[in-house]
Amino acid sequence: MTLAPLLAAPLAVKVHVATVLPAFLLGTWQLFFSAKGASAHRAIGYLYLVLMTVTSIAALFIHVVMPGGPFRGFSPIHLFIPLTLMGVVGALYYARRGDIARHKRAMIGTYVGAILIAGAFTLVPGRIMHAVLFGH
């Protein structure tokens, strides 16, 4: 493991990683260990949603995969940006309405889609996180 590829990465990548890693930890805590509905759950939930929003916005500026591609630098993984933002808005909306079942679905969908699935794509050879974890 080496941080050299991450340290050499563009600022958007650094911001993205700096927000998604704590979001992963907080999301895991929220889903599996947190007392649902407690004030701590709500506070951590807000922080998680802020981190996911910043992560998504930072991803708009990451064009490492297809810098000169047909979609102005956007790749298929960028489809997770609007899905994540919709999940964040949905989670807030449903929680405020008291629709806990839909809130839970929005939160699980955001966690699974934006963190687990999108995160798995970052481990593909040739990607920065692959180089960080496994070397070149």
Number of H helices, E strands in the chain: 7, 0
Cα 5 from chain centroid? 20
Query: What size, in residues, is the chain?
Result: 136
pTM: 0.91
Distance CA 44, CA 38 (A): 10
Q: Is the pLDDT of residue 93 over 80?
A: yes
Q: 99-128 pLDDT, tens per residue? A: 999 999 999 999 999 999 999 999 999 889
Distance CA 130, CA 110 (A): 22
Rounded mean pLDDT, 34-38: 94
Q: 63-86 pLDDT, tens per residue? A: 866 556 556 678 888 899 999 999
Which tokens go with 32? 């599996």
Residue 56's identity, in one-letter code, is S
Closest by CA position to 52, among listed 28, 78, 13, 16: 16
Q: 43-60 pLDDT, tens per residue? A: 999 999 999 999 999 999
